[in-house]
C-alpha cells in the first residue's frame, strides 16, 4: 500500500511514535470507579508492528484498560500515549489512527458485505476511489467475490470474524485493538484468523489483542497478564514459560490467576 | 459531511430491509386511520330517545319529526309522562329524553323565546354528551329555519351545558389524535429501538471508537426518522382528507412546522429511552407504555379531559402530545393561525429543549 492512497486521517503521522518506535506507552495508568480500582497503575510499552497479547481473567480490568487506550473513557491517573497521542487531550487523533474490533460481531447483519465496507470506510473518511479499490482488494483477499452482494447476516461465523477484522483495518490504522476477536470460533478458523493478523502485522500495523485462548497467547510476540487490575507478568511467551517453569501458557496463566482476589464476573 | 451521508444511507438500508420497522412505519398509520375512522367511531347512530311532549303543538311536532328523520335517533314511545320517562332511564331502555313544556309553541310565538329540556343518561358521559349535542343541533336548525322568514328572531333555549364535537363529524376529532399517536409511536419507538439495537449488537462500540463524533451518530439516526415521519404525516393527512373528508382549514405550512417540532420532541424522547435501556424489547415496551398509553389517555381525543379528576388533568399537561393535539385541532379543524397556538407551541418547544438536553447529557455520560 503506498502512502498516497491512504486516507487523509492516516497521514497525520505523529513524530513521537516514529522516533521512539513505540505504538503504545503506558505509565501508571489507572481507572477508579468510586472505591473500586478497576485498573491499578499499569505500565507497559507496545512496539510498533508488534503483536501484543493482553491477557487476564474476566474482571481483571482488561476491557477498562482497553477502553481508555481507545479513547472511550478518561483515565483517573497516570499517563498514556497511543500512536503518539495523549489519551487525555488527543482522543480524536487517537480514534483516527486506530482500528477496533469488539468481541461482539461488529458488522451490520442486514447490510451486504460491500455495503458494510462502504459504511465503515466512509465513516473513517475514505474517498469513493479508495473505497472501491480497498473494498475489491479485501473481498478478493477473503475470496468472497460471489458473496459480495449478500447480506452479512447469512455468512458463517468464521467468515464474519475475518471480514470484521479486515474491515477494522481498512483505513490502514497504526494500531488495531482486538477485544476477544475469536470467541466461539473453531480452531481451524481461528488459525486462519491469525494468518490475517500476521499479514496485518507484516504491513506494519501494531496489533493489540485480548484473548482467553492460551494457544493464541503463544502466537503473540509479547504478552502481559493482568490480575486484579495490575499487570503481574510481561514478556515473550517463551520467557514467561521459563520464568514460571511451566510447559504451556495455560500453566503460566493458572499460576498467576490463582492469586487473584477479585471474583470473576 | 460525507461521513454523515454515508451514515444516513446506512440507516435507510436498515429501515427498508427490516419488515418489522416497515410495518410499524407504514402499516400502523393506515391501520389506525381505518380503525378509528370506521370501526371505533364515537359517533352514535340510532340512539333510543323518548320525547315527553306536554305541548303537543305545531312547533313540538315539527321538532320531533326532525329528530325522527335524523339517523342519530330512533324515537321509542312518545307522549309519556315524567314518571314513565324516568322509568325508561332506570331500565336502560333509553339514552336520552327531550321534554317540551306546555305552551311551547305559544311561548315561542308570543315572547319569541321558549325552553326545552334535554335529559341524558350520564352514566356513559361520552354518549350523553354526544347525544345532547345532536339534539341541540337539531333544535338549532329548526330555529334557523323559523328565523329565515321573520324580523324578530325566535329563540329556543335548550337546557344544555356541555359542548363537544360541534361539527358533528366523528372523524374530525380523532384525526389530530391519530396523527399525534402515530408520530409518537413511529418516532419514539423506532428511534429508541434502532439506537438500542446498535448497542445490543456491539456496533455502537465500534462507532464510538471511530472518529465519527457521538453527536453525529445521534443526528444521523434522527434525520432518517424525521424524514420518514414527515412522509407518514403526509399519508395520514391524505387519508384523512380524501377518505374521511376531514378538512384542513388552516395554514398547511404552519401545520407542517408544528408537526416537525413535535417529531423532534418525540425523537428526543426516543433518544432518552435509548440511553436508559439496553435491550430492544425494553426500549420498545418503554416507548409504547411511556408514550402510546399517555397519548391515548391524556390528549383528550378519545376520552374528554374535562371529565377526568383534577390530578389526572394536571398530569396530562406534561404530555407533549396533549399540546400538539390541541395545536393540530386548532389549525386543521378550526382554521386558526399562529396567534392562537403560540402558547402551546412555546410549551412544546420548551419540552423539546428539556428532553433533548437531558438525553444528550445522558448519552455523553454513558461514554465516560
ipTM given for this complex: 0.79
Is B228:B186 a contact under the CB 8 Å cutoff? yes
Cβ pair B205:A71 closer than 8 A: no
Whether residues B189 and B303 fall in one domain: yes
Instruction: Check residue A195 and give its pLDDT.
Output: 92
B81 shares a domain with B36: no
The answer on B203 and B75 residing in a single domain is no
Average pLDDT score, chain B: 80
Q: What are the DSSP calls for B161-215, one per residue?
A: -----TT--HHHHHHHHHHHHHHHIIIIIHHHHHHHHHHHHTHHHHHHHSSS-HH
| Cell matching residue B266 | 418525540
- Which of B:164-183 have CB within 8 Å of A? none
Cβ atoms within 10 Å, residue A9? 17
The pLDDT of residue A191 is above 50 = yes
| Most confident among A94-98, B46-50, B125-129, B143-147 (mean pLDDT) | A94-98
Query: What is the model's pLDDT at position A13?
Result: 41
Q: What is the predicted pLDDT for the residue at A17? A: 42
Residues B287 and B190 grouped into a single domain: yes
Per the CB < 8 Å rule, is A123 touching B6?
yes
Q: Hey, is the C-beta of B210 within 8 angstroms of any chain A C-beta? A: yes
- Whether A119 sits inside 8 A of B205 (CB atoms) is no
C-alpha cell at B76: 321509542
Determine whether the interchain pair A72/B17 forms a contact, defined as Cβ–Cβ distance below 8 Å. Answer: no
* Cα separations in angstroms, B282 against B183, B225, B275: 20, 20, 12
Would the CB atoms of B209 and A100 count as touching at under 8 Å? yes
Q: Which residues in chain A (105-144) have CB-CB distances under 8 A to chain B?
A: 105-111, 115, 118-120, 122-125
Q: Give a yes or no: residue A263 inside a domain.
A: no
Residue partners of A147: CB distance under 8 A and separation at least 6: A113, A155
pLDDT at A9: 39
**CA pair distance A104, A7, nearest whole angstrom:** 27
Range with the largest mean pLDDT of A194-203, B7-16, B66-75: A194-203
Q: Looking at the 3D structure of chain A, how many domains does it have?
A: 1
The pLDDT tens digits of the residues spanning B287-338 come to 888 777 888 878 777 776 666 778 888 888 888 888 998 888 888 877 788 8
Cβ contacts of B9 on chain A, cutoff 8 Å: 119
Enumerate the residues of chain A whose CB falls inside 8 A of the CB of residue B208.
72
Whether chain B has a CB inside 8 Å of the CB on A16: the answer is: no
Residue B290, helix vs strand vs coil: helix
For the domain that residue B110 is a member of, what is the CATH number?
Answer: 3.40.1710.10
**Cell numbers linked to A46:** 507496545
Confidence of residue A44 (pLDDT cuts 50, 70, 90): very high
Residue range of the domain that includes B321 = 2-40+169-367
Cβ A123–B210 below 8 Å, yes or no?
yes
For residues B33 and B111, membership in a common domain is answered with no
Whether residue A265 is contained in a domain is answered as no
Please state the rounded mean pLDDT for residues A92-120. 88
Average the pLDDT over each of A128-132, B203-207, B291-295, B337-341 and give the range with the smallest value.
B291-295
- Assigned domain for A123 exists: yes
Nearest to B368 among A74, A106, A109 (CB): A74
Q: Closest Cα partner for B286 from B270, B297, B265?
A: B270
- What are the DSSP calls for A132-163, one per residue? HHHHHHHHHHHT-GGGTTSBGGGS-HHHHHHH
Provide the domain limits for residue A180. Answer: 3-257
B311 touches chain A (CB under 8 A): no
CA distance from start to end of chain B: 26
Residue A102 lies in a domain: yes
Mean pLDDT, chain A, rounded, equals 84
Average pLDDT of the residues in A106-127: 89
> How far, in Å, CA of B366 to CA of A72, rounded?
10
Q: Which pLDDT score, from 0 to 100, does residue A1 have?
A: 40
Instruction: Please list every residue in chain B whose beta carbon sits closer than 8 Å to the beta carbon of residue A72.
Output: 205, 208-209, 367
d(CA B324, CA B300): 11
Task: Return the pLDDT at A223.
Answer: 92
Q: Where are the alpha helices (DSSP H) in B70-124?
A: 82-90, 104-110
- Give the pLDDT mean for B229-258: 87
Listed range (A155-164, B333-342, B345-354) with the worst mean pLDDT: B333-342
Residue A202 forms contact with B (CB below 8 Å): no
Single residue among B159, B181, B211 that ends a domain in this structure: B159
State how far the Cα of A169 lies from the Cα of A171, in Å rounded to an integer: 5
Distance CA B327, CA B250 (A): 11
Question: What's the pLDDT score for residue A81?
Answer: 93
CB contact set of B257 (below 8 Å; sequence gap of 6+): none
Chain B residues touching A110 at Cβ < 8 A: 13-14, 17-18
Q: Is B15 on the interface with A (CB under 8 A)?
A: no
Q: Give the predicted TM-score (pTM) of the model.
A: 0.71
Q: Does A165 touch chain B (CB under 8 A)?
A: no
What's residue A112's pLDDT?
92
Q: Which of A227, A228, A225, A229 is nearest to A237 (CA)?
A: A225
Contact by Cβ (8 Å): A194, A221: no
What does the pLDDT read at residue B74? 80
Instruction: Look at residues A188, A128, A123, A197 and name the one whose alpha carbon lies nearest to residue A166.
Output: A197
Q: State the smallest CA–CA distance between residue B240 and chain A in angstroms.
A: 35
Q: In what order do the strands lie in the sheet with A85-86?
A: A36-47, A22-33, A77-82, A85-86
* A182-186, B28-32, B190-194, range with greatest mean pLDDT: B190-194
C-alpha cell at A188: 481451524
Query: What is the pLDDT averaged over residues B123-139?
Result: 77
Q: Is B13–A104 a contact, with Cβ atoms under 8 angstroms apart? A: no
Q: Are residues B332 and B362 in the same domain?
A: yes
CB-CB contact of B180 with B295 (8 Å): yes
Number of H helices, E strands in chain B: 17, 5
Query: pLDDT digits over A195-246, tens only?
Result: 999 999 999 999 999 988 888 888 999 999 988 888 888 899 889 888 888 8
**How far is the alpha carbon of B364 from chain A, nearest alpha carbon, in Å?**
11
* The pLDDT of residue B36: 72
Nearest chain B residue (CA) to A116:
B10
Measured between alpha carbons, how far is A84 from A102 in angstroms, rounded to an integer?
Answer: 23
Confidence of residue A20 (pLDDT cuts 50, 70, 90): low
How many Cβ contacts (< 8 angstroms) between chains A and B?
Answer: 78
Residues B180 and B196 in one domain: yes
A95, A111, A151 member nearest B209 (Cβ): A95
In the predicted model, is pLDDT for residue B152 greater than 80?
Answer: no
Whole-number percent of chain B with pLDDT over 70: 85
Q: What are A138-155's pLDDT values in tens digits?
A: 999 888 888 888 898 888
Which residue in B has a C-alpha nearest to residue A9's C-alpha? B211
Element (DSSP H or E) covering residue B154: none
DSSP letter at B303 equals S
For chain A, give the percent of residues with pLDDT over 70.
91
Q: What is the pLDDT of residue A14?
A: 41
CB-based contact A67:A144 (threshold 8 Å): no
Query: What Cα–Cα distance (Å) separates residue A241 from each residue in A179, A226, A236, A250, B107?
Result: 24, 16, 9, 9, 114
Mean pLDDT across B70-75? 80
Any idea what the Cα angle at residue B194 is, between residues B188 and B198, rounded to 5°? 145
pLDDT digits (tens, 9 = 90+) for B155-176: 666 655 332 333 444 556 677 8
CA dihedral B224, B230, B231, B235 (to 10 degrees): 150
Do residues B93 and B196 both lie within one domain? Answer: no
- Chain B positions in Cβ-Cβ contact with residue A125 (cut-off 8 Å): 2-3, 211
Task: Give chain A positions within 8 Å (CB) of B367.
Answer: 72-73
The whole-number pLDDT of residue B92 equals 64
Q: What is the tally of structural domains in chain B?
A: 2
- Residue given cell 334557523 in the structure block: B144
B258 pLDDT band, cuts 50/70/90, is very high
Residues 187-206 of chain B with CB under 8 A from chain A are 201-203, 205-206
Interchain CB contact of B307 with A (< 8 Å)? no
Grid-cell match 473453531, residue found = A186
| pLDDT classification of B43: cutoffs 50, 70, 90 | low
Closest of B68, B134, B64 to residue B100, by C-alpha:
B64
In this structure, the answer to whether residues B36 and B83 fall within a common structural domain is no
* Averaged pLDDT for residues A20-47: 89
The single residue listed with the C-alpha cell 475469536 is: A182
pLDDT of A18 reads 45
* Domain annotation covers residue B164: no
Residue A56 belongs to a domain with what CATH number? 3.40.50.300
d(CA A138, CA B198): 24
Q: Is residue A262 part of a domain?
A: no
**Considering B159, B186, B204, which residue would you say is the last residue of a domain?**
B159
Percent of chain B with pLDDT over 90: 8
Would A94 be classed as within a structural domain?
yes
Q: Which three cell numbers stand for residue B179?
A: 396523527
Q: Smallest Cα–Cα separation from B195: which of B306, B273, B262?
A: B273
Query: Is residue B358 a part of any domain in this protein?
Result: yes
Residue B196 lies in a domain: yes
Is residue B207 domain-shared with residue B351, that is, in the same domain?
yes
State whether B63 and B205 are in the same domain: no
pLDDT of B40 over the 80 cut:
no
* C-alpha atoms less than 13 angstroms from C-alpha of B202 in its C-beta half-sphere: 13
Q: So what's the pLDDT on residue A190?
A: 87
Residues B123 and B173 in one domain: no
Amino acid at each position: 500500500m503506498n502512502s498516497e492512497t491512504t486516507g487523509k486521517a492516516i497521514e497525520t503521522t505523529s513524530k513521537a511514535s516514529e522516533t521512539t518506535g513505540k505504538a503504545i506507552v503506558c505509565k501508571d495508568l489507572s481507572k477508579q470507579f468510586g472505591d473500586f480500582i478497576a485498573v491499578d497503575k499499569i505500565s507497559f510499552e507496545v512496539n510498533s508492528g508488534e503483536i501484543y497479547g493482553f491477557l487476564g481473567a474476566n474482571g481483571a480490568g482488561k476491557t477498562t484498560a482497553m477502553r481508555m487506550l481507545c479513547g472511550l473513557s478518561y483515565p483517573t491517573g497516570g499517563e498514556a500515549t497511543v500512536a503518539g497521542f495523549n489519551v487525555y487531550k488527543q482522543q480524536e487523533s487517537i480514534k483516527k489512527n486506530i482500528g477496533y474490533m469488539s468481541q461482539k460481531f461488529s458488522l451490520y447483519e442486514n447490510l451486504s458485505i460491500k455495503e458494510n465496507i462502504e459504511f465503515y470506510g466512509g465513516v473513517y473518511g475514505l474517498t469513493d476511489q479508495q473505497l472501491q479499490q480497498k473494498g475489491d482488494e479485501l473481498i478478493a483477499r477473503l475470496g468472497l467475490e460471489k458473496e459480495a452482494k449478500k447480506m452479512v447476516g447469512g455468512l458463517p461465523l468464521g467468515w464474519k470474524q475475518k471480514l470484521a477484522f479486515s474491515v477494522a483495518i481498512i483505513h490502514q490504522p497504526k494500531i488495531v485493538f482486538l477485544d476477544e476477536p475469536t470467541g466461539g470460533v473453531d480452531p481451524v478458523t481461528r488459525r486462519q484468523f491469525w494468518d490475517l493478523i500476521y499479514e496485518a502485522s507484516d504491513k506494519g500495523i501494531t496489533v493489540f489483542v485480548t484473548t482467553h485462548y492460551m494457544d493464541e497467547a503463544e502466537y503473540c510476540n509479547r504478552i502481559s497478564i493482568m490480575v486484579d487490575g495490575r499487570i503481574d507478568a510481561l514478556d515473550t511467551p517463551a520467557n514467561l514459560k521459563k520464568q514460571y517453569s511451566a510447559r504451556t501458557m495455560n500453566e503460566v496463566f493458572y499460576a498467576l490467576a490463582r492469586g487473584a482476589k477479585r471474583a470473576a464476573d | 459531511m460525507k461521513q454523515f451521508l454515508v451514515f444516513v444511507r446506512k440507516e435507510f438500508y436498515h429501515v427498508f430491509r427490516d419488515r418489522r420497522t416497515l410495518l410499524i412505519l407504514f402499516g400502523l398509520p393506515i391501520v389506525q386511520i381505518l380503525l378509528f375512522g370506521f370501526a371505533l367511531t364515537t359517533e352514535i347512530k340510532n340512539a333510543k330517545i323518548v320525547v315527553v311532549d306536554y305541548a303537543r303543538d305545531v312547533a313540538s311536532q315539527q321538532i320531533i319529526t326532525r329528530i325522527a328523520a335524523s339517523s342519530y335517533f330512533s324515537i321509542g314511545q312518545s307522549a309519556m309522562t315524567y314518571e314513565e320517562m324516568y322509568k325508561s332511564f332506570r331500565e336502560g331502555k333509553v339514552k336520552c329524553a327531550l321534554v317540551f313544556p306546555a305552551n311551547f309553541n305559544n311561548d315561542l310565538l308570543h315572547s319569541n323565546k321558549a325552553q326545552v329540556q334535554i335529559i341524558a343518561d350520564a352514566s356513559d358521559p361520552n354518549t350523553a354528551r354526544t347525544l345532547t349535542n345532536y339534539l341541540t343541533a337539531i333544535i338549532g336548525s329548526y330555529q334557523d329555519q323559523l328565523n329565515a322568514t321573520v324580523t324578530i328572531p325566535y329563540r329556543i333555549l335548550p337546557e344544555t351545558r356541555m359542548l363537544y364535537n360541534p361539527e358533528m363529524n366523528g372523524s374530525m376529532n380523532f384525526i389530530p389524535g391519530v396523527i399525534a399517536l402515530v408520530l409518537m409511536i413511529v418516532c419514539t419507538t423506532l428511534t429508541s429501538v434502532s439506537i438500542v439495537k446498535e448497542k445490543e449488537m456491539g456496533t455502537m462500540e465500534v462507532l464510538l471508537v471511530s472518529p465519527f463524533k457521538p453527536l453525529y451518530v445521534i443526528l444521523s439516526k434522527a434525520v432518517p426518522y424525521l424524514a420518514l415521519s414527515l412522509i407518514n404525516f403526509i399519508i395520514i393527512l391524505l387519508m384523512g382528507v380524501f377518505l374521511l373528508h376531514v378538512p384542513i382549514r388552516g395554514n398547511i405550512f404552519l401545520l407542517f412546522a408544528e408537526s416537525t417540532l413535535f417529531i423532534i420532541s418525540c425523537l428526543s424522547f426516543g433518544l432518552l429511552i435509548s440511553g436508559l435501556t439496553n435491550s430492544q424489547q425494553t426500549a420498545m415496551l418503554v416507548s409504547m407504555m411511556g408514550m402510546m398509553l399517555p397519548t391515548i389517555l391524556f390528549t383528550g381525543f378519545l376520552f374528554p379531559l374535562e371529565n377526568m379528576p383534577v390530578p389526572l388533568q394536571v398530569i396530562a399537561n406534561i404530555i407533549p402530545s396533549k399540546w400538539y393535539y390541541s395545536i393540530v385541532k386548532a389549525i386543521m379543524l378550526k382554521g386558526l393561525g399562529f396567534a392562537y397556538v403560540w402558547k402551546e407551541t412555546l410549551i412544546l418547544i420548551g419540552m423539546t429543549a428539556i428532553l433533548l438536553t437531558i438525553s444528550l447529557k445522558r448519552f455523553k455520560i454513558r461514554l465516560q
